[in-house]
Amino acid sequence: MTPLRVRCNAKINLYLKVLAKRPDGFHDIETVFHSIALHDTVTLTPTAGDLTLSSDAPALPTGADNLALRAAALILGGTSHGVHIDIEKRIPVGAGLGGGSADAAGALIGLNSLFGLGHSLAALQAMAEGLGADVKFLLEGGCAAGRGRGDELRSLPPLPARPVLLAIPRLSVSTAWAYGSLKMGLTSHKVSFSMITSALGKGDTASLWGLLKNDFEGLVFGKYPSVGRIKEDLLGCGASAALMSGTGPVVYGFFEKEGDAAACGNRLAGGGIDTVVSYLTRESVTVPP
């Protein structure tokens, strides 16, 4: 059987508000996800029955705690199929862009196709819920509002393919630390979930740029002032809007033209910040025909 190569796109958060802690230890959130074109490539090679994983990224865990391997174990459980997963990593690890979740979504969709398992999207979504809210969104991608743990999804019209500059600090932010350290009483802001979802529903980008909010910015910028300065630099070199994605540390900026995004990226790179020019997309996991 021929190996299958699957392209797995990253995501950004246009809005992220943390609500109360749940009895299960997670937090209720309100968020808006959007797919971007930056992607990993996941190659799925059938084996005699083992589940193994490799990657070109030294920082990526390759054991049982890897989300793509966990996804493979879920979908292949009870079958005789095995697979070797190789991940060509382009989405930074631990950056707030859903890279591990994208790989897991790619594994679910790719293995379903590779072995002709016949699972419906609803069945794949049920598997994804056990892996994380980002995984469920990234099965379909585009743009969606998320509530609950972020897994109660409602589709929204995707934005046009606008250039996005991703500024990638050379540090990692622990998601567990971010949620554990956030003082929720201090994260209130005037922008509401309904305001941003309404703007997206109407395609009102003129209003949208003032509605991008992330509760984790104050916490992360306080511990890592250099990340806050990146947001200031993005706005200073012409971004229509800028925001940290997820629990960080990646900060993105929207630009009207790709050339303007690239010029800003060159400016930031001169200060030792890694940058990638990407763009908004409605696609998430792509499997070759």
The CATH number assigned to the domain holding 47 equals 3.30.230.10
Residue 286 lies in a domain: no
Q: Kindly report, residue by residue over 79-110, the tens digit of the pLDDT.
A: 999 999 999 999 998 888 999 999 999 999 99
- Annotation says 190 is catalytic: no
**To the nearest whole percent, how much of the chain has pLDDT over 90?**
75
pLDDT at 270 over 90: no
Q: Residue 182 in contact with residue 215, Cβ under 8 Å?
A: yes
Q: Kindly report, residue by residue over 9-60, the tens digit of the pLDDT.
A: 999 999 999 987 778 767 889 999 999 999 999 999 999 889 999 999 998 8
- Write the Ramachandran bin of 245: left for phi over 0, alpha for psi from -120 to 50, otherwise beta: beta
Rounded-to-10 torsion of CA 79, 82, 87, 93: 60
SS (H, E, C) 127-167: HHHCCCHHHHHHHHCCEEEEECCCCEEEEECCCCCCEEEEE
Residue 284 lies in a domain: no
Give the Cα-Cα-Cα angle 97, 167, 209 (nearest 5 degrees).
80
- In this prediction, residue 36 carries a pLDDT of 98
- In this prediction, residue 186 carries a pLDDT of 55
Residue 101 lies in a domain: yes
Instruction: Examine the fold and report which residue of 98, 126, 157 is the final residue of a domain before the chain moves on.
Output: 157
What gap in Å lies between CA 148 and CA 240, rounded to an integer? 30
- In this prediction, residue 79 carries a pLDDT of 93
Write down the catalytic residue from 103, 134, 233, 260. Answer: 134
Residue 95 lies in a domain: yes
Residue 288 lies in a domain: no
Residue 180 lies in a domain: yes
Q: Residue 60 in contact with residue 87, Cβ under 8 Å?
A: yes
pTM of the model: 0.94
Write down the catalytic residue from 11, 17, 89, 231. Answer: 11
Pair (65, 136) in one structural domain: yes
In the chain, how many domains are there? 2
Pair (194, 153) in one structural domain: no
At 172, the pLDDT band (50, 70, 90 cuts) reads confident
Containing domain of residue 43, as a range? 4-157
Pair (31, 115) in one structural domain: yes
Pair (126, 10) in one structural domain: yes
Q: Kindly report, residue by residue over 63-72, the tens digit of the pLDDT.
A: 988 999 999 9
Nearest to 3 by CA among 57, 56, 42: 42
Pair (140, 189) in one structural domain: no
What is the pLDDT of the chain when averaged over all its residues? 92
Pair (150, 219) in one structural domain: no
- Annotation says 134 is catalytic: yes
Q: For the domain that residue 243 is a member of, what is the CATH number? A: 3.30.70.890
